[in-house]
Amino acid sequence: MKKLQHLMLGMSLLLAFTSCATPIKNAKTETYKVAGNCEMCKSTIETAANKKGISLAEWDQDKKVMKLTYDSKQTTASEVLKKVAYAGYDNEQFLAPDDAYTKLPGCCQYDRLKKDAVVTDNTVNDSPKNEPVVKEQEKVNQLAKVYDQYFALKDALVKDDGTVASSKALALAKAINEVDMKAMSSEEHSAWMKVEKDLLMHAEHISETKDIAHQREHFSLLSQGVYSLTKAFKLDETVYLQHCPMYNDGKGADWLSKESTVKNPYYGSSMLSCGKTTETIK
């Protein structure tokens, strides 16, 4: 284990040296609280945060603080901290997905942060105690725009319009990127982090093509993630989970709709009413 720790430390230092070789333009430096235990944590955190010429991080094992310097025209601190969370480490803005945390080596599994303790002032804190400043935020449905763009995409597929579907998927990807996790509860935060990457990937794939058959393949997977979110995020209106038994060589596929009347996005005009409502979500 010690040999592995030394190896990881060496890799971290090498990466930091390589990153330093390329000056960061439009540099902005801030500090953030990031959980962790050991030198292996330091290596993983810094590897996740560092990108040559764009961002450079240095994590202090004793203080549990990461000093971050980044090109403010190419990225944001939030984007870097999100990568750190996906690597398994809770921080000021994002809690790591549970599966990412459990994959960490035993020596790296730190005491998890609580949601109400991680929303802090995201600037260099020069106060002597360096205590987090908890912000009160208005409670809003962070996924309202995501749902709206999902339904718009679904409607385009119902109409067999790959061009419109592409543009709606692009708008959906934008809505996904704009979700503010700091306003979420712990349960919502955890649910969102589990599916965010997959949702964005499928939305981007749909936006990059006008081939409606390929769009529908990704829409079926996208719909699975959107459905899982309805279990954690309260909807402002009633929606219906609907099922097409014939799609995907008879394996079937689901989608969400604001209407109880079935309008099939997988077959459009060729089999518009194929399917049934399997769940009403209020």
- In this structure, the answer to whether residues 74 and 10 fall within a common structural domain is yes
Residue 136 lies inside a defined structural domain of this protein: no
Residue 24 lies inside a defined structural domain of this protein: yes
Residue 249 lies inside a defined structural domain of this protein: yes
With cut-offs at 50, 70 and 90, classify the pLDDT of residue 137.
very low
Q: Burial-class residue 191 by CB neighbours within 10 Å (0-12, 13-18, 19+).
A: buried
Residue 107: C-alpha distances to residues 2, 37, 103, 111 (Å): 12, 7, 11, 11
The C-alpha angle with vertex 101 and arms to 218 and 83, in degrees rounded to 5, equals: 60
Question: Kind of pairing, strands 55-60 and 27-33?
Answer: unpaired
The pTM of this model reads: 0.64
For the chain, what percent of residues have pLDDT higher than 70?
Answer: 82
Residue 132 has pLDDT above 50, yes or no: no
With cut-offs at 50, 70 and 90, classify the pLDDT of residue 143.
confident
- In this structure, the answer to whether residues 100 and 176 fall within a common structural domain is no
- In this structure, the answer to whether residues 169 and 241 fall within a common structural domain is yes
Backbone angles phi, psi at 215, to 5 degrees: -60, -40
List pLDDT tens digits, range 62-115.
999 999 999 999 999 988 999 999 999 999 888 888 888 999 999 999 998 776
pLDDT of residue 92: 87
| 82 within 8 A of 179, measured Cβ to Cβ | no
List pLDDT tens digits, range 168-206.
999 999 999 998 887 787 778 888 988 999 999 999 999
pLDDT of residue 244: 97
pLDDT of residue 184: 80
pLDDT of residue 133: 34
CA dihedral of 47, 50, 56, 60, whole degrees rounded to 10: -20
**Domain span holding position 35:** 2-117
- In this structure, the answer to whether residues 191 and 270 fall within a common structural domain is yes
pLDDT of residue 11: 55
pLDDT of residue 51: 93
Backbone angles phi, psi at 141, to 5 degrees: -75, 105
Structural domains counted in the chain? 2
Q: For the chain, what is the mean pLDDT? A: 85
Report the C-alpha gap between 218 and 65 in whole angstroms: 39
Residue 124 lies inside a defined structural domain of this protein: no
Residue 231 lies inside a defined structural domain of this protein: yes
Backbone angles phi, psi at 58, to 5 degrees: -135, 115
- In this structure, the answer to whether residues 275 and 220 fall within a common structural domain is yes
Report the C-alpha gap between 107 and 122 in whole angstroms: 28
Average pLDDT over residues 273-282: 95
Residue 238 lies inside a defined structural domain of this protein: yes
- In this structure, the answer to whether residues 180 and 94 fall within a common structural domain is no
Which residue carries 């604001």 as its tokens?
Answer: 258
Residue 213 lies inside a defined structural domain of this protein: yes
